[in-house]
Amino acid sequence: MARKRVSMRNARTILRLRHEAGLGLREISRSLRISHGTVVNYLQRAEAAGVGWPLPEHIDDEHLGQLLFASKHPPEAARRALPDMAELHKELRGKRRHKGITRRLLWEEYRGAHPEGYGYTQFCEYYKRYESGLEPTLRQPYQAGEKLFVDWAGETLALADPANGRLRPAYLFVAALGASNYTYAEVFENMQLPFWVEAHIHAWEFFGGVTTITVPDNTKTAVNKPCRYEPSLHRTYEELADHYGTVIIPARAGEPQDKAKVEAAVQNAERRLLAVLRHQTFFSLAEANAAIRRALEDLNRRPFQKMPGCRAQLFAELDQPALRPLPAQRYEMGVWRSAKANIDYHVQVDWHCYSVPYRLANQSVDVRLGSRAVEIFYRGQRVAVHARNYQRGGYTTDSAHRPKAHQRHLEWTPSRLVRWSSHEVGPYCGQAVTHLLASKPHPEQGYRACLGILRLRRHYGVARLESACQRAVLLDACSYQSIKSMLATAADRQSLPAPDVPDAAPPVRHTNLRGQAYYTSAAPMTNNPERRAEYPEPAA
């Protein structure tokens, strides 16, 4: 194309010098430093095409070339079949692009369909001409410290199992800064959310700061629902960005030019890191990442081919001074879940129940599960925090979340009831409550009866209640109904019964009394006359 433009400029100059200046052929040849034959050739072609001077305003270089050369040389497309340039462009640059598609592969397919077609050089030349006529590419300027581009590489690194030598893949995470192209890379066990978050944290710590904007792909660990205008970000990923003070702006789906920096960085990482380490055997991620870190140092210090300096030098001059500082504490990853509080004001998450304020019973809440803490949110406000408990089927309850009535009910214990009755009424009331609780299979069965006894003092007074409890203890009638009946019939005002005095008289002996031995020995039950003689029958 450049050679053609020069020839058309020469053609215009030849016509002007010949018709307007009136120069001879050899004078024009010496003036333009071209051969005499070339001048003659252009003038003959112009005469055959009816082209004179001055040229009409609507004739540009391309039109002039068609007029001068169409008569003797037909267009190339008329002699050989040209490929469909639009389809070629879709394969190489469009949304249908597949990894591994190259111009040579497309040319080989073209020559397979058209054996008489163009060679590889002319094939590429025609494609360049087509691409130059398309919409111009926007070269995006990147401000220092503004954008970080992140992505997973398509190639993996093989890790060997020390036990059996079996290989498993390790996945390469790549991050590149927009202004300096300074690159970070690390391999991980998989591409799931925990390692996606950890990769970002390691990258920011490697750079020593955070960019204003982070540009990921539309991977599921970053974007829940891709959208050209309002993509829905993963809750944990968005929380990570808030913690580090950056903004997540995902690239448009199917538009790799939105993250061209990391596309180039991934390509460099695959060539300068994975390809360089392909002959080494690694048995752990730590071992592999140590080798990657050494190769990464070489990549960042490798001089640019078309400009002075290297990535490390530009990073020190541009991005590093403009990065935002890291937060004081590292981000602790939390997994978000949606749950509903049960009627007992507890939410079940990972088979364990955590309490929320009782007013949120039957309400939907958001739960953030951390490694050490569980946070519960209602409409964006945190309403509960608990220590993480991994016991299946267990309960973690904050007493402040219970209603007041539940709190008071749970405060009643046997020892508290005994102390309260002794303090509020007297020692005999405490004894009566103790006997009442001891008479029940479970102490909680006597709680309401004990509260009923204490309530009697409101109507009868403390002194009469203490007197009734004393009578109940002596008569072994420690129940709510017995004490209430004593107070209602004024039995508490009567004199107390004399305690039973044990009889000190000797035991009565009589022939009709068999004695203790008769009931404790097996002899009376035998039919042996000799044994029966030892225990004679009582007289009739």
Q: For residue 484, what are the CA distances in angstroms to 95, 463, 471?
A: 90, 14, 12
Bridge partners, 223 (sequence order): 233
Residues 202 and 307 in one domain: yes
228 and 341 together in one domain: no
Residue 128 placed within a domain: yes
- Of 389, 407, 425, the residue that ends a domain is 407
Note whether residue 436 is domain-resident: yes
pLDDT (tens place) for every residue of the chain, 540 residues total = 444 444 777 788 888 888 877 788 888 888 888 888 888 888 888 877 777 777 777 777 777 777 777 644 444 444 577 888 888 877 776 555 566 778 888 888 888 888 888 888 888 888 887 777 665 555 567 788 999 999 999 899 999 988 888 999 999 999 999 989 999 999 999 998 889 999 999 999 999 999 999 999 888 888 988 887 788 888 889 889 999 999 999 988 877 777 888 888 999 999 999 999 988 999 999 999 999 999 999 999 999 887 788 999 999 999 999 999 999 999 888 888 889 998 888 999 888 999 999 888 889 999 988 877 899 999 888 899 998 888 888 889 888 888 876 666 555 677 778 888 888 889 999 999 888 888 877 666 777 788 889 889 888 999 999 999 998 998 888 999 999 999 999 888 888 766 655 555 566 666 666 665 655 554 444 455 554 455 455 444
The CATH number of the domain holding residue 289 is: 3.30.420.10
Helices 103-113, 85-92: axis angle to 10 degrees equals: 150
The Cα 284–Cα 277 span in angstroms is 14
Sheet holding 373-378, edge to edge: 335-340, 364-369, 373-378, 381-387
**539 in a structural domain:** no
Residues 403 and 447 in one domain: no
Q: Quick one: 179 and 240 in the same domain?
A: yes
**Whether residue 170 is found in the same domain as residue 296:** yes
Question: Is there a single domain that holds both residue 344 and residue 420?
Answer: no
Residues 167 and 262 in one domain: yes
* Assigned domain for 290 exists: yes
Q: Are residues 33 and 54 in the same domain?
A: yes
Is 198 contained in some domain? Answer: yes
Domain match, 265 and 401 both: no
Determine the Cα angle at 64 with ends 63 and 67, to 5°: 90
Q: Is 8 helix (H, G, I), strand (E, B) or coil?
A: helix
Q: Report if residue 120 sits inside a domain.
A: yes
Amino acid letter, 152:
W
Question: Do 196 and 314 belong to one domain?
Answer: yes
Instruction: Among 292, 322, 352, identify where a domain stops.
Output: 322
Tokens encoding 294: 């050494």
Q: Which of 73, 106, 124 is the last residue of a domain?
A: 73
Shared domain for 103 and 206, answered yes or no, is no
* Strand arrangement of the beta sheet that strand 247-248 belongs to: 183-188, 167-177, 147-160, 213-215, 247-248
Residue 239: inside a domain, yes or no?
A: yes
Are 376 and 418 members of one domain? no
Identify the burial level of 199 via C-beta atoms within 10 angstroms of its C-beta, where 0-12 means exposed, 13-18 middle and 19 or more buried: buried
Q: Are 486 and 456 in contact (CB under 8 A)?
A: no
| Structural domain that includes position 98 | 78-132
41's tokens: 């050739």
The domain tally of the chain equals 5
Rounded CA-CA distance 187/60 in Å is 56
Whether 510 maps to a domain, the answer reads no
